[in-house]
Homo-oligomer: A and B are copies of this chain.
Amino acid sequence: MARVSKTKSADGLPEGGEEKGRSLAGTQTLVRGLEIIDAVSLRPLGLPELAESIGLTRSTAHRLAGTLVEHRYLNFVRGMGYSLGPRILELGYLTARQTSLPRVAREHLEQLAARTGDTVHLGVLEDGQALYLDKISGNRRVEISSRIGERQPLRSTGLGKALILDASEAQWREYYDLEARQGRGYDVDLQLWLRRMREYAKNGYAFDLEENEDRIRCVAAPVRDVSGRIVGAISVSSAAQYMDDMRMHGLTFEVRRASEAISSELGYNPGVDGAAAEGGKRRRTASTRD
């Protein structure tokens, strides 16, 4: 009977299944173990604090944490307490290896294509260009003429702009100048382009206003990984007749929702700062993938 006071899951009400309350029943021990990992992940903790923060008795916390230590999910050092262990490092590495951007993105791209009816692209930054990794054609009359594996300029495409949304102003100039020096035609001058980029960066999306190809417009948004870095971008493209300003604005929400869903599956957590806090200004000149 003593137990009842502490357990938070299926205690009082046998009904009440609103909110996020009772997980799948029948896994209290596992869930508590995961809660311990969660607690420790925030900051290393001693046993008493640990037990306290999860709402467990010292006995139970000790037993579960001990098992996690035994399996190398946690480290334990006297006087320092519990911290995340090497097994999690291993698993994280394995996860990263088996979590490839295109595979994770696929279903979200499909949903986005289905909802918008337009052509959807996935791309990454490579050698100062946007590399198209996946494409799902829409169901409009007009077909967008792009191919997987194709490279496009950064400054004039929605996808390209989304890929460099986090770059510094100086880097933006470099990208712009680089493509200018390559002799590509482009009818948006640097100042206007920078002004737009600032706006895009602030809002987390980017447009292509018939800049790259006549009569083609698109809305794009960046995809981030666990470290918060932009590792790719997605876009919705269509003929200008289907893409008036109002629709483009509406699409920013659709596109961002999809890009955020992908980012989330890649481990991105908007709350935790990630790389932004460390590197900030410098960094990122070219390739994003290894």
Contacts and interface: CB of A to CB of B under 8 A. Distances in A.
Interface stretch (A90-98, A201-209, A214-222): A90-98
Nearest to A89: B267
Q: In which size bucket is the chain A interface?
A: 35 or more
Contact of A34 (B26, B73, B89, B227): B73
A39 to B, nearest CB: 12
Contacts of A87: 267
A92 B226 contact: yes
Interface stretch (A45-53, A59-67, A131-139): A59-67
Contact of A93 (B24, B29, B92): B92
A171 interface: no
Contacts of A67: 23-24, 27, 30-31, 34
B91 A41 contact: yes
A83 to B, nearest CB: 6
Contacts of A90: 41, 226, 267, 269, 272
Contact of A70 (B24, B70, B93, B267): B24
A27 B29 contact: yes
A75 interface: yes
Contacts of A93: 92, 226-227, 267, 274
Contacts of A29: 27-30
A118 to B, nearest CB: 25
Contact of A266 (B86, B98, B264): B86
Contact of A27 (B44, B64, B83, B94): B64
10 contacts: A24-B63, A27-B67, A29-B29, A30-B67, A34-B68, A75-B265, A86-B99, A88-B88, A89-B267, A93-B227
Given A24-B66, A34-B73, A41-B91, 10 more contacts: A26-B63, A27-B63, A30-B30, A85-B95, A86-B99, A86-B265, A90-B269, A90-B272, A93-B267, A94-B272
Closest 6 CB pairs of A and B: A92-B92, A89-B267, A29-B29, A84-B95, A30-B33, A27-B67
